[in-house]
Structure 1
Amino acid sequence: MNDHDSGSSKRLTDLEVQMAHVQRLYEQLNDVVTQEAMRADRMQRRLDALTQQLKDVKSKSAEPATDPLDEKPPHY
C-alpha cells in the first residue's frame, strides 16, 4: 500500500467513525423529541380535561355567569 492509499484509508475510517457518532446522536435526539411530544400530548389532554371541568363548574354554579373582566372595578 502506498502513502496515498494509507491516507485515504485513514480518512475513510475517520469519516466512518464520525458518521457512527452522528447516527448515535441522531437516535438520542429522536428519542428526546419523541418523549417530549408524548409529554406535550399528555399535558394538552390534561389541560383539555381541566378546561372542561371548569366549564362544568361554571355551568352548575348558582351565580349568574358573568365574566370578571366585564365587571367594573370597585373604585367606580
Structure 2
Amino acid sequence: MSDSIEQRLNDLEIQLAHTQRTCEQLNEVVTKMSMDAQTRERLMKRMVDQIKDLKSNLGESDAGGDEKPPHY
C-alpha cells in the first residue's frame, strides 16, 4: 500500500476508536439516567401513596369532628 492509503486507514482506525469510546460513554450516561428516572418514579409513586393515605386519614377525622376527645 502506498503511504497515503496507509495514513488514511490509520486515521480511520483512530476515528473509529474515538467513536466507539464516545458511544460507550453515551451508553453509560443513558443507563445512569434511566436508573435515576426509575428511582425518581418509584419515589414519586411512594409519595403519592403517602399523600393519599394522609388525605384519607384526614377525611376520617373530619367526619367525626363533633365527637368528644377520648379523655372526656
In which range does the TM-score fall when normalised by the shorter chain? 0.7 to 0.9
Gaps of 5+ in 2: 64-72
* Aligned-residue CA RMSD (Å): 1.2
Taking the TM superposition and a 5 Å limit, the aligned residue runs for 1:2-17 are 5-17=2-14
Specify which of 36, 45, 48 is matched with residue 45 of structure 2: 48
Correspondence for 1:22: 19
Q: Percent identity?
A: 43
Relative contact order (alpha carbons < 8 A, sep ≥ 6): 1 or 2 greater?
A: 1
Correspondence for 2:32: 35
TM-score normalised by length of structure 2: 0.80
Q: How many residues align?
A: 61
Shift of residue 6 of structure 1? 1.0
Runs of 4+, deviation exceeding 3 Å: none
Shift of residue 63 of structure 1? 2.7
Measure, in 1, the Cα distance between the counterparts of 2:50 and 2:15: 52
1:20-54 deviation digits (Å, cap 9, x = unpaired): 00000100010000000000000000000000000
Higher helix share: 2
TM-score normalised by length of structure 1: 0.76
DSSP 3-state at the match of 2:62: coil
